[in-house]
Amino acid sequence: MPTPPVLSEPVSPEPARPSALHTRGAAKLLIGAVASDVARLGAGLRMRHVTKLIISVLALAMLVLSVTAMAMLWALYQVPLDAQSGLAGSSVVVEAANGQPLGRVGPLSDMARRGDFPNILVKAVISIEDRRFYSHWGFDPWAIIRAARANWAAGTVVEGGSTIPQQLAKLQLVGNERSMNRKLREALTAAWLNLRLGKEEVLTRYLNSVYMGAGAFGMSAAARTYFDKRLSELTLAEAAMLAGLIQAPTRYDPIRNLDAARARAAVVLDTMVETGAITAQAASAAKSAPATPRPSVQVARGGGWFAEWIAKSELPKIAGHLKRTMRVRTTLEPEVQRVAEEAVREAIDRDGKRLGFTQGALVAMRPDGSVIAMVGGRDYNKSQFNRAADAQRQAGSTFKIFVYYAALLNGYSPESSIDASPVTLGKWTPENYGGPRYGHMSLSNAFAHSINTAAVRLAMTVGLNKVTAAARELGLTAPLKEVPSMALGSNDVTLLDMTGAFASVRAGRPKLEPWGIAAFSADAGALRTLGAPAAPANTLQQRDALTRLLHDVVDHGTGREASLGPGVAGKTGTSQDYHDAWFIGFNDDLVVGVWVGNDDQSPMRGVTGGSVPAQIWKRFVNAATPLVRARTQPQPAVPTNAEPSATAPAQTPNPCDMEACAARYHSFRSSDCTYQPWHG
């Protein structure tokens, strides 16, 4: 019988004992595996950390950019981003009828291109005003810190930290208010200008707009004002003096304070050596031959009522409001102007205190309306208010010229009998000077003796509307209230306008407007002649009869103090309570108006138009008539149609505003854009 198999556990062979070499290999494998796992874990952690860090940085950058953008928007809010200059208005260089310079009215500016500024001037400005100009971003923190330290040490403000872009921002955009708010706007705006315009454009705008004193804006205007030179002609010493002016134009004005200007220029030269702009030898040479101002007569600041009237009133009528330098040849005659000023000043000095008046005014013109003298007060240096052209005062009895002219136009004659008896209109009862009462008298006698009751009755009989129409025909444009008292001059008018009305009578033509510009040009171009306004086709009706009435006033009426013999005609005027006193009249050569009174309208002590004003008129006309006859007419520039001579500049066609010029001057010829002289 076979033997059954024995069931038992399988027997595993006994493992072999490992050697030392095998043990070290296993350990390395284990350590490598663990290190690999740790490395993978660390890399993951670092990546997440870096990612978070990048996200944080980006978020912070976005926050900074957002804050910066908001700050820029705040700084530039309501700022005129297209501003080109800090100038206000244009400059007018005024000349007398004979070409004599009368000076400049308004700010002087000459816009130059970047290439027009010499390097030596640019280096001088950058060295003294902003030596890190080409390296900062519009504002310079280091300069601010340096200035703060210097000011702290000195105990006062001795140094500023503003850069050129900051100064430009202050000049043109953010203003000059002293506040931290404004200073922050200035810095941010400067950074924006620096980014948007670039360094060279910022520098150009700054050099063209910085105020240099004496009404000059920009370096080109300053070079003309102080040295009568173009920019390209400036020396190192002159460039340093101009650069030194920027800090304090009044304090370092070389015309008024040459020593201070030269000392400041020396500081600029030393700074230029420090910045490497020039050598020490060049600075020493410039100091040994310092700049000497040679003021330009043509662009020096002018002072006078006539020049102001031309620049601010007359020129805009024909040339518009131009932002450039204008040259104007006027009708003013210097010798006549001198006589006029003396006549007014002498009367105020002699009688003003005794009779209670402090001011006077005078306008003198030729029969064609060209103004040859204008006095707006006692002393222009003390008061620039023009009492001849701008003061609105009651005309008194000089206004009666319109009442009587209206009567002549409506059938009256100098011999007509009119009622001068007392009259009451409502609650108003006009009285005659001195209180006398009259009955009927001739129109001529009533006018000569300036009878108030006669003028009021005549105005009411003819019609107040016709009195207004007569005033308009003689050129008076002032608003007129048609009330009975208008016959006695209760409406406010100017001396210039009233004198123009008398000039209309003298010339025998309606609406002869006073004028003062004989020729003008823009930006140093050729002068364009204007001449007198052309005469209208119609003549003044009843001119001879009205002139006869005016002669009677001087011959045997209230204006006897103005008599210079036959040929003088005029009218006196005195407002209520002696507030104003007038005399306006003419002879063969002149039409002259005179006013005296007080700026506060306080009453004078019995001064009437037939006293002080008539005396001033007589003294002036007696002295001025020979001067006027020596010059039979104003001497404007060479007429447009004339052939150029060796001494006269050639006339060249200039663009013009035909609509404006034709409306202002009737001698304008639109076919070839020229102005034709008119000699009456």
pLDDT, tens digit, 9 for 90 and up, residues 432-449? 998 899 999 999 999 999
pLDDT at 154: 59
- Measured CA to CA in angstroms, residue 516 lies from 94, 425, 525, 556 at distances of 11, 43, 20, 34
350, two tokens? 């002699």
The mean predicted confidence, pLDDT, of the chain is 82
CB 386 within 8 A of CB 376: yes
Structure confidence at residue 163 as a pLDDT band (50, 70, 90) = confident
- Is 534 a residue whose pLDDT tops 90? no
pLDDT at 530: 82
Instruction: Please tell me the pTM assigned to this model.
Output: 0.72
Tell me how far apart the alpha carbons of residues 569 and 562 are, in angstroms, rounded to a whole number.
9
Structure confidence at residue 528 as a pLDDT band (50, 70, 90) = confident
Range from 269-283, 323-337, 485-499, 501-515 carrying the lowest mean pLDDT? 323-337
Tell me how far apart the alpha carbons of residues 580 and 572 are, in angstroms, rounded to a whole number.
11
Winning range, highest mean pLDDT, from 30-34, 189-193, 490-494: 490-494
Phi-psi region at 78: left, alpha or beta (left = phi > 0; alpha = psi -120 to 50): left
- Is 62 a residue whose pLDDT tops 80? no
pLDDT at 277: 95
Nearest C-alpha neighbor of 580 from the set 549, 600, 622, 608: 608
Range from 199-208, 231-240, 349-358, 639-648 carrying the lowest mean pLDDT? 639-648
- Measured CA to CA in angstroms, residue 160 lies from 96, 143, 169, 175 at distances of 45, 8, 15, 17
Tell me how far apart the alpha carbons of residues 296 and 228 are, in angstroms, rounded to a whole number.
5
CB burial of residue 435 (10 Å; 0-12, 13-18, 19+)? exposed
Range from 128-137, 163-172, 201-210 carrying the lowest mean pLDDT? 163-172
- Is 69 a residue whose pLDDT tops 70? no
- Is 422 a residue whose pLDDT tops 90? yes
Structure confidence at residue 389 as a pLDDT band (50, 70, 90) = very high
The neighbour count for residue 425, using CB atoms within 10 Å, is: 13
Pairing outcome for strands 92-95 and 326-330: parallel
Would you say how long the chain is, in residues? Answer: 680
Q: Between 175 and 640, whose confidence is greater? A: 175
User: What residues have CB less than 8 Å from 494, skipping those under 6 apart?
Assistant: 388, 389, 390, 391, 392, 393, 478
- Is 668 a residue whose pLDDT tops 80? no
- Is 517 a residue whose pLDDT tops 90? yes
Name the helix (H) or strand (E) containing 580. strand 580-586
Which stretches of 51-188 are assigned E, i.e. beta strand? 92-95, 101-105, 108-109
- Is 660 a residue whose pLDDT tops 80? no
CB 603 within 8 A of CB 578: yes
Average pLDDT over residues 48-76: 57
The neighbour count for residue 344, using CB atoms within 10 Å, is: 26
Which stretches of 206-325 are assigned E, i.e. beta strand? 216-217
Structure confidence at residue 575 as a pLDDT band (50, 70, 90) = very high
Structure confidence at residue 678 as a pLDDT band (50, 70, 90) = very low
- Is 240 a residue whose pLDDT tops 60? yes
Helix, strand or coil for residue 584? strand
Tell me how far apart the alpha carbons of residues 100 and 334 are, in angstroms, rounded to a whole number.
8
Predicted confidence (pLDDT) per residue in 93-138, tens digit: 899 999 998 888 888 877 899 999 999 999 999 999 988 888 887 7
Tell me how far apart the alpha carbons of residues 61 and 72 are, in angstroms, rounded to a whole number.
16
pLDDT at 109: 79
180, two tokens? 């931290």
Tell me how far apart the alpha carbons of residues 166 and 164 are, in angstroms, rounded to a whole number.
5
Helix, strand or coil for residue 202? helix
Q: What is the largest CA-CA distance in the chain?
A: 193
pLDDT at 207: 94
pLDDT at 322: 62
- For the chain, what percentages of helix, strand and coil (3-state, to nearest 5) are there? 45, 10, 40
Average pLDDT over residues 25-47: 55
Which residues partner with 570 through β-bridges? 585
Predicted confidence (pLDDT) per residue in 546-561, tens digit: 999 999 999 999 999 9
Which residues partner with 596 through β-bridges? 360, 581
pLDDT at 317: 85
DSSP type of residue 509: S
pLDDT at 190: 77
Tell me how far apart the alpha carbons of residues 44 and 313 are, in angstroms, rounded to a whole number.
83
Q: Between 191 and 498, whose confidence is greater? A: 498
pLDDT at 524: 61
Tell me how far apart the alpha carbons of residues 209 and 214 are, in angstroms, rounded to a whole number.
14
User: What residues have CB less than 8 Å from 410, skipping those under 6 apart?
Assistant: 462, 466
Range from 20-34, 142-156, 383-397, 472-486 carrying the lowest mean pLDDT? 20-34
pLDDT at 48: 67
pLDDT at 666: 40
Pairing outcome for strands 393-394 and 492-493: antiparallel
Nearest C-alpha neighbor of 366 from the set 531, 476, 220, 523: 531
pLDDT at 395: 97
pLDDT at 167: 84
Helix, strand or coil for residue 191? helix
CB 545 within 8 A of CB 414: yes
- Is 375 a residue whose pLDDT tops 80? yes
Average pLDDT over residues 285-313: 88
pLDDT at 640: 35
CB 327 within 8 A of CB 93: yes
Average pLDDT over residues 165-173: 77
Tell me how far apart the alpha carbons of residues 512 and 532 are, in angstroms, rounded to a whole number.
10
Nearest C-alpha neighbor of 221 from the set 165, 299, 118, 297: 299
Helices (H), ranges, 509-573:
543-556
CB burial of residue 342 (10 Å; 0-12, 13-18, 19+)? middle
Structure confidence at residue 406 as a pLDDT band (50, 70, 90) = very high
